[in-house]
Chain A
Amino acid sequence: MFDFVGKRRWFLLASAIIIVAGIISLAVPGGLKPGVDFQGGIAITLGPKEGETEPLTLERVKNKLADLGHSEAANRIQVLEDDQFFIRTGELGDSDEEKLEEQKKLKSGLAEIADVKEFGSISAVVASETVRNAAIAVAVAAVAILLYITWAFRRMPSPFRYGTCAIVALVHDVVIVLGVFSFLGRAFNWEIDPMFVTAVLAVIGYSVNDTIVVFDRVRENLPKGITPDFATVVNSSLTGTLGRSLNTSVTTLLAVLAIYLFVGGTIRTFVLALFIGTIAGTYSSIFIASQLLVVWERGELGRVLSKVPLTRRLRPRET
Chain B
Amino acid sequence: MRPRSKDRPFEARSRVTRRSFLRRILRKRPRISGNTWMLLFILALLGPAMWVLTPSGSISLDRVVTKITNVTVDPLTNITTTTTKTVPAENLGMRLGLDLQGGSHLVYQVDFQEDWSEDRKEFATNTALVIIRDRIDKYGVSEPVIQRQGSDRILVQLPGITDIDEAKDLIERTGFLEFREVELNPAGEPVLLSHYLEEADRTDFFDAAVEGKRIFGQVIPGEEEATIISLPYFLQKDDDEGLRFVDEAGNPVDIDEKLEESDEAKRVDKLVDNQDNPVDKETYLQTYSWMPSRGTITEEVDGVEKEVEKQLTGAYLTEAQPRYPTPEGLARGEEIDVAIEWDSDGTKLFDQIMKRIRDKGDYLDPQRSLGMFLDSELISSPQAYPSSMEGREYGSSATITGNFTWDEARLLAIKLDSGALEMPLKKPPLYESEVSATLGKDFINKAILAGGIGVGIIMLFMILYYRLPGALASLALLVYLALVLAIFKAIPVTLTLAGLAGLILSLGMAVDANILIFERLKEELRAGRTLKAAAETGFNRAWIAIRDSNISTIIICGILYWFGSGIVQSPQVMGFAATLFFGVVTSMFTAIVVTRTFLRFATGSRAARRPQWFGVKARDV
A152 vs B550: C-alpha distance in the bound complex, in angstroms? 12
User: Could you tell me if A209 and B523 are in contact, using CB atoms closer than 8 angstroms?
Assistant: no
A residues less than 8 Å from B548 (CB atoms):
152, 212, 216
User: Is residue A201 contacting chain B, with contact meaning CB distance below 8 A?
Assistant: yes
Other-chain contact of B559, A144, A195, A263 (Cβ < 8 Å) = A144
Contact with A along B554-567 (1 / 0, CB 8 A): 01110110111011
User: Could you tell me if B433 and A118 are in contact, using CB atoms closer than 8 angstroms?
Assistant: yes
User: Is residue B545 contacting chain A, with contact meaning CB distance below 8 A?
Assistant: yes
A residues less than 8 Å from B564 (CB atoms):
194, 198
Knowing A133-B567, A137-B562, A205-B552 touch, does A263 contact B497 (C-beta < 8 A)? yes
User: Could you tell me if B432 and A120 are in contact, using CB atoms closer than 8 angstroms?
Assistant: yes
User: Is residue B253 contacting chain A, with contact meaning CB distance below 8 A?
Assistant: no
A119 vs B165: C-alpha distance in the bound complex, in angstroms? 11
Which residues of A from 78 to 124 have beta carbons under 8 Å from B? 96, 99-100, 103, 115-123
A62 vs B500: C-alpha distance in the bound complex, in angstroms? 33
User: Could you tell me if A262 and B446 are in contact, using CB atoms closer than 8 angstroms?
Assistant: yes
Minimum CB–CB distance for B15 against chain A, Å: 34
User: Is residue A250 contacting chain B, with contact meaning CB distance below 8 A?
Assistant: yes
User: Is residue A191 contacting chain B, with contact meaning CB distance below 8 A?
Assistant: no
**A-B residue pair count with CB separations less than 8 angstroms:** 232
Q: Which of A65-73, A181-189, A251-259, A308-316 contacts B (4 or more CB under 8 A)?
A: A251-259
Minimum CB–CB distance for B12 against chain A, Å: 29
B residues less than 8 Å from A208 (CB atoms):
549, 552-553, 556
User: Could you tell me if A220 and B507 are in contact, using CB atoms closer than 8 angstroms?
Assistant: no
Other-chain contact of A254, B434, B461, B541 (Cβ < 8 Å) = B461
| Interface-centre pick from B446, B573, B577 (highest chain A CB count, 10 A) | B573
User: Could you tell me if B545 and A271 are in contact, using CB atoms closer than 8 angstroms?
Assistant: no
Contact with B along A136-155 (1 / 0, CB 8 A): 11001100110011001000
User: Could you tell me if B436 and A259 are in contact, using CB atoms closer than 8 angstroms?
Assistant: no
Contact with B along A171-209 (1 / 0, CB 8 A): 000000000000000000000001101100110111011
User: Is residue B204 contacting chain A, with contact meaning CB distance below 8 A?
Assistant: no
Which residues of B from 506 to 549 have beta carbons under 8 Å from A? 507-509, 511-512, 515-516, 519, 522-523, 541, 544-545, 548-549
User: Is residue B353 contacting chain A, with contact meaning CB distance below 8 A?
Assistant: no
Minimum CB–CB distance for B41 against chain A, Å: 27
User: Could you tell me if A261 and B450 are in contact, using CB atoms closer than 8 angstroms?
Assistant: yes
Q: Which of B188-196, B275-283, B380-388, B451-459 contacts A (4 or more CB under 8 A)?
A: B451-459
User: Is residue A24 contacting chain B, with contact meaning CB distance below 8 A?
Assistant: no
A125 vs B465: C-alpha distance in the bound complex, in angstroms? 52
Other-chain contact of B549, A116, A209, A252 (Cβ < 8 Å) = A209
User: Is residue A13 contacting chain B, with contact meaning CB distance below 8 A?
Assistant: no
Knowing A202-B556, A255-B454, A256-B505 touch, does A100 contact B435 (C-beta < 8 A)? no
User: Could you tell me if A212 and B552 are in contact, using CB atoms closer than 8 angstroms?
Assistant: yes
A residues less than 8 Å from B568 (CB atoms):
37, 122, 126, 130
User: Could you tell me if B430 and A122 are in contact, using CB atoms closer than 8 angstroms?
Assistant: yes
A256 vs B450: C-alpha distance in the bound complex, in angstroms? 9
User: Is residue B462 contacting chain A, with contact meaning CB distance below 8 A?
Assistant: yes
User: Is residue A51 contacting chain B, with contact meaning CB distance below 8 A?
Assistant: no
User: Could you tell me if B508 and A248 are in contact, using CB atoms closer than 8 angstroms?
Assistant: yes
Minimum CB–CB distance for B182 against chain A, Å: 43
Other-chain contact of B573, A148, A195, A212 (Cβ < 8 Å) = A195
A45 vs B435: C-alpha distance in the bound complex, in angstroms? 9
B residues less than 8 Å from A118 (CB atoms):
433-436, 439
A208 vs B103: C-alpha distance in the bound complex, in angstroms? 36
Minimum CB–CB distance for B379 against chain A, Å: 31
A residues less than 8 Å from B99 (CB atoms):
266
Contact with A along B421-433 (1 / 0, CB 8 A): 0000011111111
User: Could you tell me if A123 and B505 are in contact, using CB atoms closer than 8 angstroms?
Assistant: no
A residues less than 8 Å from B570 (CB atoms):
194
Knowing A198-B573, A204-B556, A216-B545 touch, does A259 contact B504 (C-beta < 8 A)? yes
User: Is residue A20 contacting chain B, with contact meaning CB distance below 8 A?
Assistant: no
User: Is residue A240 contacting chain B, with contact meaning CB distance below 8 A?
Assistant: yes
Other-chain contact of B164, A96, A119, A252, A264 (Cβ < 8 Å) = A119
Contact with A along B93-110 (1 / 0, CB 8 A): 000000100000001010
Closest A residue, CB atoms, query B465: A247
User: Could you tell me if A148 and B555 are in contact, using CB atoms closer than 8 angstroms?
Assistant: yes
User: Could you tell me if B560 and A198 are in contact, using CB atoms closer than 8 angstroms?
Assistant: yes
User: Could you tell me if A126 and B433 are in contact, using CB atoms closer than 8 angstroms?
Assistant: no
User: Is residue B447 contacting chain A, with contact meaning CB distance below 8 A?
Assistant: yes
Contact with A along B374-411 (1 / 0, CB 8 A): 00000000000000000000000000000000000000
| Number of residues from B at the complex interface, CB < 8 A | 73
Minimum CB–CB distance for A258 against chain B, Å: 4
| Interface-centre pick from A99, A149, A206, A254 (highest chain B CB count, 10 A) | A254
User: Is residue B580 contacting chain A, with contact meaning CB distance below 8 A?
Assistant: yes
Closest B residue, CB atoms, query A256: B505
User: Could you tell me if B431 and A122 are in contact, using CB atoms closer than 8 angstroms?
Assistant: yes
User: Could you tell me if B563 and A145 are in contact, using CB atoms closer than 8 angstroms?
Assistant: no
User: Is residue B501 contacting chain A, with contact meaning CB distance below 8 A?
Assistant: yes
Knowing A205-B556, A248-B515 touch, does A259 contact B501 (C-beta < 8 A)? yes
User: Is residue A159 contacting chain B, with contact meaning CB distance below 8 A?
Assistant: no
User: Is residue A217 contacting chain B, with contact meaning CB distance below 8 A?
Assistant: yes
User: Could you tell me if B498 and A243 are in contact, using CB atoms closer than 8 angstroms?
Assistant: no
User: Is residue A6 contacting chain B, with contact meaning CB distance below 8 A?
Assistant: no
User: Is residue A267 contacting chain B, with contact meaning CB distance below 8 A?
Assistant: yes
A253 vs B461: C-alpha distance in the bound complex, in angstroms? 12
User: Could you tell me if A262 and B449 are in contact, using CB atoms closer than 8 angstroms?
Assistant: yes
B residues less than 8 Å from A250 (CB atoms):
461
A residues less than 8 Å from B573 (CB atoms):
194-195, 197-198
Minimum CB–CB distance for A97 against chain B, Å: 9
Other-chain contact of A100, B427, B439, B462 (Cβ < 8 Å) = B427
User: Could you tell me if B501 and A244 are in contact, using CB atoms closer than 8 angstroms?
Assistant: no
Minimum CB–CB distance for A75 against chain B, Å: 24
| Interface-centre pick from B449, B451, B566 (highest chain A CB count, 10 A) | B566
Other-chain contact of A251, B512, B551, B562, B566 (Cβ < 8 Å) = B512
User: Could you tell me if A134 and B563 are in contact, using CB atoms closer than 8 angstroms?
Assistant: yes
Other-chain contact of A116, B436, B522, B566, B567 (Cβ < 8 Å) = B436
A149 vs B552: C-alpha distance in the bound complex, in angstroms? 8
User: Could you tell me if B556 and A201 are in contact, using CB atoms closer than 8 angstroms?
Assistant: yes
Closest A residue, CB atoms, query B572: A195
Other-chain contact of A103, B428, B519, B522 (Cβ < 8 Å) = B428
User: Could you tell me if A123 and B576 are in contact, using CB atoms closer than 8 angstroms?
Assistant: no
User: Could you tell me if A145 and B560 are in contact, using CB atoms closer than 8 angstroms?
Assistant: no
User: Is residue A270 contacting chain B, with contact meaning CB distance below 8 A?
Assistant: yes
A133 vs B559: C-alpha distance in the bound complex, in angstroms? 10
User: Could you tell me if A258 and B426 are in contact, using CB atoms closer than 8 angstroms?
Assistant: no
Closest A residue, CB atoms, query B570: A194
Knowing A123-B431, A220-B541, A247-B515 touch, does A252 contact B580 (C-beta < 8 A)? no
Q: List 27 A-B contacts (CB under 8 A).
A: A45-B439, A119-B433, A120-B434, A121-B433, A123-B431, A126-B567, A137-B562, A145-B555, A148-B551, A194-B564, A194-B573, A195-B576, A202-B505, A202-B556, A205-B580, A206-B553, A244-B515, A247-B519, A248-B511, A248-B516, A251-B512, A252-B505, A255-B458, A256-B504, A258-B454, A259-B504, A259-B505
Residues of chain A having any CB pair with chain B under 8 Å: 37, 45, 47, 96, 99-100, 103, 115-123, 125-126, 129-130, 133-134, 136-137, 140-141, 144-145, 148-149, 152, 194-195, 197-198, 201-202, 204-206, 208-210, 212-213, 216-217, 220, 240-241, 243-244, 247-248, 250-256, 258-259, 261-267, 270-271, 274
Residues of chain B having any CB pair with chain A under 8 Å: 99, 107, 109, 164, 426-436, 438-439, 443, 446-447, 449-451, 453-454, 457-458, 461-462, 465, 497-498, 500-502, 504-505, 507-509, 511-512, 515-516, 519, 522-523, 541, 544-545, 548-553, 555-557, 559-560, 562-564, 566-568, 570, 572-573, 576-577, 580
